[in-house]
Amino acid sequence: MSVVKKDGRKDSAPSDDAVEGIMPDLPMKTVAVDLPEDALDPVYHQKAILLNDAVQSIGMGRYQWQLFILVGFGYANDNLFPVLLSLILPPVTTEFQVAKRPLLSLTQNIGLLAGAIFWGFGCDVFGRRWAFNLTIGITAVFALIAAGSPNFVAMGIFVSFWSFGVGGNLPVDSAIFLEFLPGSHQYLMTVLAVFWAFAQVFVTLVAWPLLGYMTCSVTTVNCTKEENMGWRYLVIAMGGYAFLAFLGRFVLFHLYESPKYLMGKGQDEQAVKVVHEVARKNGTSSSLTVEDLRSLGTLQGNASAAISRKLKTVNLDHVRPLFATRKMAWSTSVIIICWLFIGLAYPLYFGYLPYIQQQRGAQFGDSSVYLSYRNNLIIAVLGVPGAIIGGALVEIPKLGRRGTLSISTILTGVFLFGSTTALNSDQLLGWNCAFNFMANIMYAVLYGFTPELFATKDRGTGNALAASANRIAGIMSPVIAIYSNPSLLIFPAVNTAAPVYVSGSLFIAAGALVLTLPFETRGRASL
């Protein structure tokens, strides 16, 4: 198969040469592999290889760049709404006189886990296109409703519902982007983290005036709704942003259904049509035909078959290869543990950062709510270059993915420990800026490095195990916050550094574990 460009030149598609071994060590032009003996469905697998070949041969063009921007909205949502909750946590719990503050974070993390599971499986049943739009639509609707919450219980319910939408953004959006992304531009999966950082800046920038001027202090005993409208306006603003993003995806951009999804439903003609439509938008034309797909056999496509294929990807037949050798077993175990530690450490500290800022500020004799949220904006801005720098550091030969991830994770923990030595608000701000800078490098590399550690036929299972560990740890973080910091049970709370020590220790432990990973994937093809 080849791609014919408008100037008449032909580009040959990568060959389907056999690939030996579990970990790839191939030139970046290699994109296809032989069918494994234990493939779930030989016809499906061979057709998927052919469609991957076709999409990657088309190259990076207009359609993929537009998709890059829209997928960026999904990545932004994945950080924007958790940051939103951390920002409104002090005024919400102050207004409703809540004793157990971390319970609101608990409802969020339960929603995130449920959303990741439902949308991850659901997009194989009703399609990527619907999931792509519904996740952000659900987030917008329930965020707007949450702004009118009359009490803490209602707020918790609506937070879990909007988190259900947010939880599907990354698994659905990343799957869509990968299925249209040429191998030569795989680094864009790391660069997408810049949207994650910009989201933090955006929500914090809007929060600064709203929460700074229209919010009760955490030390206020009788806080009324009228005195505390800032958090409600902020939630309306973010819900409105999500609704505009939904309209942009649904109205202004025509998302083509994934060719592999259509093929899996037995719609070979539609799959080929999508390939040609994407090629047309990119100014090229593909020679892929329906006969090319049909020559590989007939696939009985239906919803139950799609679900069956998806469920089988998490059975032991696809877990065993992740632990097939000592090196693979160690690699898989270490990356899952790292996701677990980071998934626990980050929300354990960052989820309560605005609260910690105000409490420490009061201790330093500076209890200004306005300055607290101004400082949160400065911290957020420092995260943006971190995400960009992370994308560059991973390509340095002697550093690579493994070195960059280890150093950035360890330094994230070190800077957290350093923050406990702050003697005034300015010193605390400096330490937190350094923390967020390193944390954004860490996340940028983690998102791109993890999928590269698994072979394609087992990548879904490997990613699912890592993501599940991360979300489960997120559910655990509010519980640990309560037991490691009993002051969170008291209203108003008393400052303690316990969550900082726990979080910092977990980051350093994760960074040290990364150094033991046996594989470095820089410069190797993702199989």
pLDDT tens-digit map of 463-476: 767 877 888 888 88
Stretch (H or E) spanning 274: helix 268-281
Residue 287 φ/ψ, nearest 5 degrees: -90, 5
Q: Is the pLDDT of residue 254 over 60?
A: yes
Residue 37 CB contacts under 8 Å (≥ 6 apart), including other chains: none
Residue 153 CB contacts under 8 Å (≥ 6 apart), including other chains: none
Q: What is the mean pLDDT of residues 1-18?
A: 40
Chain centroid to CA 447 = 7
Question: Which structural domains are found in the chain, ordered by start?
Answer: 40-312 (1.20.1250.20), 317-527 (1.20.1250.20)
Share of the chain above pLDDT 90, in %: 17
Q: pLDDT tier at 319 (50, 70, 90 boundaries)?
A: confident
In sign, the C-alpha dihedral spanning 3, 5, 9, 14 is negative
Calculate Rg over the CA atoms of the chain: 24
Cβ atoms of 265 and 302 within 8 Å: the answer is yes
Q: How many CA atoms lie within 13 A of 527 on its CB side?
A: 24
Cβ atoms of 140 and 246 within 8 Å: the answer is yes
Q: Is the pLDDT of residue 417 over 60?
A: yes
In sign, the C-alpha dihedral spanning 315, 401, 109, 306 is negative
Query: Is pLDDT larger for residue 390 or for residue 321?
Result: 390
Give me the chain's average pLDDT, please. Answer: 77
pLDDT tens-digit map of 162-177: 999 998 887 778 777 8
